[in-house]
Amino acid sequence: MIALFNAQQSKEIDRRIIDEGEPGLKLMKRAAWHLFATVQSHYPHAQKLLVLCGTGNNGGDGLACAQFALLAGLDVSVFLSNENMHGDALSCLNELKALNADIRPLNDLEVFSQELGKTDLLIDALFGIGLNRPLNQASVQLIETVNTSPCPVISADLPSGLDADSGKHFGCAIKAEHTCTFLTRKVGLYTHLGPDFCGQIHYFDLHANLPQHISPVAYSHELNEWQPLIPTLSADNHKGRMGHVLLVGGHRNMMGAIQLSASACLHSGAGLTKIISDTQHLIPLTQQQPELMCYPPEALSEQLRQSDLLALGPGLGLDDWSGQLYQTCSQNNLPKVFDADALKWLAKTPVFNPQQILTPHPGEAAVLLDSDSRRIQQDRVGAIKAIQKKYGGVVILKGKGSLIYDGNRLELCPLGNPGMAVGGMGDVLTGVVAALWARGMTPFEAACTAVYIHAAAADECFKETGAAGLIPSLLPPKIGRLIG
């Protein structure tokens, strides 16, 4: 398990550690040592180092790293955005000056660019957690120059330009091959654009005693921390104990959506997987998956009485047919998983219900909050909390760094890959969520376990097929194996 913090909490943790007697300069030197050790272990042949430093303590990390590199005999050039430094960063600057280091102002982009052309590795120490507003034109141009150069980058604490809280950038951000992050893992490294910019993340606690009473924004677990929570099977197991799931959707040309959910639900161990769909789909659905029990819309009320849990939305549609099914389902007291079009119906008449799991992607989250997906992505943590507050239950906000929130705990799943961005992938997740909840897990545990298993199955698949070959129908058997 790892804990993830935002910038304000990270600053507070820094401050507490220093207040308790650990000098800031010592922490800075340790951070710098880890930066330099990362240079040595990942770029052992780098001879010429360029260190890009801002005016804050992030720049201080860079200056202290430059000193270690210089003392180790590397050819080091430092570019300073501004000489206006203070505190520990100023001490590091003065120590470096005393070594007659090559320190230059960043006042000519052409000079910087030429130097970059001769460099083996760049250390990015321009901005860390102190970045708090959009970058000016000069910073944007500087970062774009770095990003268009073939020179590899190690970022100090976080890639400069990235927002430590949300994973958005403030105009642009440095694209690093490695990011060495200190004291706290910043949540923005793991969600939204963060993973695109950070490269490989290395965490260093700087041997400091982290204060325990600052609760993190989110936690992230390993897949194998969720798997043991899946109920085990007793020798005298029978299907009545494994949950009866009723899936509703698959209207008109969207039969595949409910088919994918149903296949995932079956492979996740549900005792009975039943479908309410268009009458014309009932035979093809059963022909393709004989384990399924498929019913026309007229059977809805009776099937609701005979089920443990309802999953509503994949391919449901937004016409009158869909509206009638939605009305009947929403008035029923069964625990419910809402996905896809069911979320759009829910947004029309919001109801607060603790016994539900909502699984929006950013576009659906925008509908639930009457917002737009760009705003959702810029503050995913804020968005999932707002959805949970408005609708209750457990919310899964899908996308890179999927979040799961129950009003108390926030989990971030770092697994998954861009090949998952294909129609039907979310329908598979719905089936897994429904099955695990129906099998007796708590809704939060079911949601988290389902998200991790779904993403891990997709990652396994990616290794075999690559991104283009990763299609949702390949996932259910892999999900079955991961569930065990």
Ligand X SMILES: NC(=O)C1=CN([C@@H]2O[C@H](COP(=O)(O)OP(=O)(O)OC[C@H]3O[C@@H](n4cnc5c(N)ncnc54)[C@H](OP(=O)(O)O)[C@@H]3O)[C@@H](O)[C@H]2O)[C@@H](O)CC1
Ligand Y SMILES: Nc1ncnc2c1ncn2[C@@H]1O[C@H](COP(=O)(O)OP(=O)(O)O)[C@@H](O)[C@H]1O
Instruction: Detail the residues annotated as belonging to a binding site.
Output: 57-61, 124, 128-134, 157, 160, 257, 315, 361, 398-402, 426-427
What residues are designated binding site for (6S)-NADPHX? 57-61, 128-134, 157, 257, 315, 361, 427
Residue 471 interacts, among K ion, ligand Y, ligand X, none and using kind-specific CB cut-offs from 5 to 8 Å, with none
In the region spanning residues 345 to 374, those forming contacts with ligand Y, defined by CB under 6 A, are: 361
- Please report where in the chains the tokens 């993190």 appear, as a residue: 216
Residue 129 interacts, among K ion, ligand X, ligand Y, none and using kind-specific CB cut-offs from 5 to 8 Å, with ligand X
Does 417 participate in binding ligand Y (rule CB under 6 A)?
yes
Q: What mask, x for binding ligand X by CB under 6 A, covers residues 163 to 202?
A: -------x-----------xx-------------------
Residue 139 interacts, among K ion, ligand Y, ligand X, none and using kind-specific CB cut-offs from 5 to 8 Å, with ligand X
Does 340 participate in binding ligand Y (rule CB under 6 A)?
yes
Chosen residue from 135, 173, 347, 447 binding ligand X by CB under 6 A: 135
Based on the number of CB atoms within 10 Å of its own CB, is 98 exposed (0-12), middle (13-18) or buried (19 or more)?
exposed
In the region spanning residues 141 to 170, those forming contacts with K ion, defined by CB under 5 A, are: 155-156, 160
At 138, the amino acid letter reads A
Chosen residue from 9, 38, 57, 402 binding ligand X by CB under 6 A: 57
Q: What mask, x for binding ligand X by CB under 6 A, covers residues 15 to 34?
A: ---x-----x--xx--x---
- Rounded to the nearest whole angstrom, what is the least distance from the CB of residue 115 to ligand X in the complex? 21
**Considering CB under 6 A, how many residues would be counted as binding ligand X?**
28
Does 125 participate in binding ligand Y (rule CB under 6 A)?
no
- Rounded to the nearest whole angstrom, what is the least distance from the CB of residue 464 to ligand Y in the complex? 17
Angle at the Cα of 175 from the Cα atoms of 403 and 37, rounded to 5 degrees: 95
Chosen residue from 105, 240, 423, 484 binding ligand Y by CB under 6 A: 423
| Residues at the interface with ligand X (CB under 6 A) | 14, 18, 24, 27-28, 31, 54-59, 61, 127-133, 135-136, 139, 156-157, 170, 182-183
| Residues at the interface with ligand Y (CB under 6 A) | 340, 361, 398-400, 402, 416-418, 420-421, 423-427, 429, 454
